[in-house]
Structures are given as structure tokens and as C-alpha cells.
């Protein structure tokens, strides 16, 4: 069964600190992996999209890594800000179509002042 598991489920960090969110997947075949940020009560917004051949991708203070061999990805947030408080969702594509996206349940991050 295609699954995406994220850890931790929730996380609280102090403003200015770094953090890393984890995503493990058992999706096959693999097409690409996405990270989304979702503010409470809002729609998800794309942070990064990585294909099989990409190991690292950055978007400002957000850096995603992908290890296709171990089927793991991480999202590293540097110098956190209060506005980083949100849920972060890992999404893996099981084929070359959007109809086969497998969504994780997300990590809820709270950045405390």
C-alpha cells in the first residue's frame, strides 16, 4: 500500500532556531516528492518539488533533501520565524499524473517567541 509517514506529528521551537521535519514513503513507482506549507484554515502552498535525480532543493530558508534509495525526505527550516508556524505536508507522486498523489498527514510546527 502506498503510504507517506511524517514525523514528528507536532513540534514547538523557539524563534530563530532551526528544525528538521521527516518524511518516509513507501510509494511505488516514484515520480516526484513535494513539500507544502499549510497555514491554519488556508490552502496548501508549494515549497519544493523534487524528482528522482534531485538530492537537495532550497526555497529561501527552506531546504528539502531526498534519498530515493532509503525513500526518505527531510525539510530543514533555518532561522525560524513566527510566520513559519503552520502544517508542513509531504506529498509523493506514485506515477506521472496528479491523480496518484499520496499525501502525508503533516507536521504541525509552532514557532514560539
Partner 1 sequence: DGGITQSPKYLFRKEGQNVTLSCEQNLNHDAMYWYRQDPGQGLRLIYYSQIVNDFQKGDIAEGYSVSREKKESFPLTVTSAQKNPTAFYLCASSIVTDFTGELFFGEGSRLTVL
Enumerate binding residues for partner 1 (CB under 8 A): 4, 31-32, 34, 41-46, 49, 51, 89, 93, 96-99, 101-106
Burial 79-98 (b: 16+ CB within 10 A, else e): ebeeebbbbbbbbbbbeeee
How far, in Å, are 12, 20, 37, 89 from residue 43 at the CA level? 22, 22, 9, 11
Nearer to partner 1, 54 or 74 (CB): 54
By C-beta, is 81 or 105 nearer to partner 1? 105
In angstroms, give the least distance from the CB of 47 to partner 1.
11
We find the least distance from the C-beta atom of residue 92 to partner 1, in angstroms, to be 10
Amino acid at each position: 500500500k502506498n503510504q507517506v509517514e511524517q514525523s514528528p506529528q507536532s513540534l514547538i521551537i523557539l524563534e530563530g532556531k532551526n528544525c528538521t521535519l521527516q518524511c518516509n514513503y513507501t510509494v511505488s513507482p516514484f515520480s516526484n516528492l513535494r513539500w507544502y506549507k499549510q497555514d491554519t484554515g488556508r490552502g496548501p502552498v508549494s515549497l519544493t518539488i523534487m524528482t528522482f535525480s534531485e538530492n537537495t532543493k532550497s526555497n529561501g530558508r527552506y531546504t528539502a533533501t531526498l534519498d530515493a534509495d532509503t525513500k526518505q525526505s527531510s525539510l530543514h527550516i533555518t532561522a525560524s520565524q513566527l510566520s513559519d508556524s503552520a502544517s508542513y505536508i509531504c506529498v509523493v507522486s506514485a506515477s506521472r499524473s496528479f491523480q496518484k498523489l499520496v499525501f502525508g498527514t503533516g507536521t504541525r510546527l509552532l514557532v514560539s517567541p
